[in-house]
């Protein structure tokens, strides 16, 4: 076992990008992503990272610069939060449609208005259908490992898609955790230099981002859809190889104490740790609950979720985003549609928690377990809202 280092997760994320030997970084600072890009710009300025750091005037330009850099064949990294991700929104689709393997650390934060700099999943969920692979981290070690795996997956010729590593603002980005860093040699052995399929180069001119007539657009989007569907196999392969090399094992869907219970929570991201604490406390009282934690949200790990739901009677889907007029939150809707289409008889409940940085305590999850009844006039329950 290697020595662990106590370090702020944001700084650790930038060191992971350094270990991945990123060649171009373009980003615009926004809370709570700031420490990641600040540290990367320091590493570049101090000559510790041989990369170009492109300063820009907005997130729209940051991701546009990343698209250009990735098109030339450079390993490209960016990071943002909240309104910054929304300002990138248009370019998110350009990156995925052009199949550019950019890696972005998205430090999840609530969307304004009202202005909130604190964490929730409104930003990523508003971008969930942009064609990016989406990975959710529970702790700092996972952030480091995810950034390294992200390049390997995104740059695979069978994938060639942009990759979003999601980490919760503040509750993950700003905490100091013990983290084990792989050596540069180990990362180099796992992550070879990017070998792009096409590059913008005057020796062999190509057109990228061209125009598709109605005769071709459907086929082009179908090809992109097949790429994100098939990326799951590559994600699983890379996670397995990562586990063999580094001893930390990742799965498309993680489970915690799901074998001996008919009740599970489903949640994304750092909130999983609070739920695990609640589960441990419940189990010490002889009450059996489990957690099903999708590691990837796109591509949606349908088969793994179905398998994790085997023998379950009641599922509490916990989300950090308001449904905004939808029947339920986006994670619930995905799971509900999956369960319905597979004809699985299971009771699904939807709980909205932790909006705009509101604390969520293990007690909240224990109350959900012991039978909070969602309000009759709503299809979801907002935990802790004063009514």
Scanning 115-123, 125-133, 215-223, 289-297 for contacts with other proteins by CB under 8 A, the matching segment is 215-223
- Rounded Cα gap, residues 85 and 175, in angstroms: 22
Joined tokens for residue 171: 């509750």
Which of residues 57, 185, 203, 215 is near other proteins by CB under 8 A?
215
Restricted to residues 68-97, the positions that interact with other proteins (CB under 8 A) are: 97
- 126-161 burial, b at 16+ Cβ within 10 Å, e below that, comes to bbbebbbbbbbbbbbbbbbbbbbbbbbbbbbeebbb
Strands 24-27 and 76-80, by their bridges, are parallel
Compute the least distance from the CB of residue 129 to other proteins, in Å. 18
- Rounded Cα gap, residues 165 and 150, in angstroms: 8
Contact pattern for other proteins over residues 156 through 195, marking x by CB under 8 A: ----x-----------------------------------
Please report whether residue 100 would count as binding other proteins according to CB under 8 A.
Answer: yes
Q: Which is nearer to other proteins, 207 or 341 (CB)?
A: 207
Q: Which is nearer to other proteins, 222 or 313 (CB)?
A: 222
Other C-beta atoms closer than 10 Å to the C-beta of 356 total 18
- Rounded Cα gap, residues 7 and 180, in angstroms: 10
Determine the 3-state secondary structure of 259 from DSSP.
Answer: coil
Please report whether residue 303 would count as binding other proteins according to CB under 8 A.
Answer: no
Please report whether residue 197 would count as binding other proteins according to CB under 8 A.
Answer: yes
Compute the least distance from the CB of residue 299 to other proteins, in Å. 17
The number of residues that bind other proteins (CB under 8 A) is 23
Q: Which is nearer to other proteins, 185 or 203 (CB)?
A: 203
- Rounded Cα gap, residues 333 and 276, in angstroms: 23
Tell me the β-bridge partners of 80: 106
Other C-beta atoms closer than 10 Å to the C-beta of 311 total 12
For residue 7, which phi and psi values (nearest 5 degrees)?
-155, 150
Which of residues 48, 50, 90, 219 is near other proteins by CB under 8 A?
219
Please report whether residue 216 would count as binding other proteins according to CB under 8 A.
Answer: yes
Compute the least distance from the CB of residue 338 to other proteins, in Å. 25
**What is the chain's Cα-based Rg?**
21
Please report whether residue 98 would count as binding other proteins according to CB under 8 A.
Answer: yes
Which of residues 45, 223, 229, 326 is near other proteins by CB under 8 A?
223
Determine the 3-state secondary structure of 8 from DSSP.
Answer: strand
Which of residues 45, 176, 212, 229 is near other proteins by CB under 8 A?
212
- Rounded Cα gap, residues 322 and 352, in angstroms: 7
Please report whether residue 226 would count as binding other proteins according to CB under 8 A.
Answer: yes
Interacting residues with other proteins (CB under 8 A)? 97-100, 160, 197-198, 205-210, 212-213, 215-216, 219-220, 222-223, 226-227
């Amino acid at each position: 076992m290697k020595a662990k280092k106590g370090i702020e997760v944001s700084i650790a994320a930038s060191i992971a990008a350094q270990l991945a030997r990123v060649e171009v970084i373009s980003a615009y600072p926004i809370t709570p992503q700031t420490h990641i890009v600040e540290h990367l710009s320091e590493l570049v300025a101090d000559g510790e990272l041989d990369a170009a750091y492109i300063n820009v005037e907005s997130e729209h330009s940051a991701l546009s610069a990343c698209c250009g850099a990735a098109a030339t064949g450079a390993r490209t990294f960016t990071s943002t939060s909240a309104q910054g991700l929304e300002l990138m929104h248009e370019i998110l689709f350009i990156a995925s449609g052009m199949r550019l393997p950019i890696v972005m650390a998205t430090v999840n934060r609530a969307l304004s208005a009202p202005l909130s700099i604190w964490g929730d999943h409104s930003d990523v969920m508003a971008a969930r259908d942009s064609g990016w692979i989406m990975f959710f981290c529970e702790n700092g070690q996972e952030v480091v490992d995810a950034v390294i795996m992200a390049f390997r997956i995104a740059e695979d010729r069978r994938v060639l898609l942009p990759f979003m590593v999601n980490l919760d603002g503040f509750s993950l980005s700003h905490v100091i955790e013990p983290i084990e860093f792989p050596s540069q040699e180990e990362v180099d052995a796992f992550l070879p230099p990017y070998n792009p399929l096409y590059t913008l180069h005057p020796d062999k001119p190509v057109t990228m981002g061209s125009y598709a007539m109605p005769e071709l657009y459907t086929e082009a989007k179908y090809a992109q859809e097949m790429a994100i569907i098939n990326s799951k196999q590559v994600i699983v392969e890379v996670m397995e190889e990562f586990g063999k090399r580094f001893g930390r094992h990742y799965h498309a869907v993680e489970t915690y104490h799901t074998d001996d219970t008919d009740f599970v929570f489903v949640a994304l991201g750092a909130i999983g740790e609070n739920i695990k604490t609640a589960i441990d406390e419940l189990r010490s009282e002889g009450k059996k609950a489990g957690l099903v934690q999708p590691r990837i949200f796109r591509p949606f790990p349908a088969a793994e979720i179905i398998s994790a739901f085997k023998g379950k009677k009641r599922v509490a889907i916990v989300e950090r985003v308001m449904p905004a007029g939808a029947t339920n939150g986006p994670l619930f809707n995905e799971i509900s549609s999956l369960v319905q289409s597979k004809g699985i008889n299971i009771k699904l409940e939807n709980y909205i928690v932790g909006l705009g940085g509101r604390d969520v305590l293990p007690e909240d999850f224990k109350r959900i377990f012991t039978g909070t009844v969602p309000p009759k006039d709503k299809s979801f329950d907002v935990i802790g809202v004063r009514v």
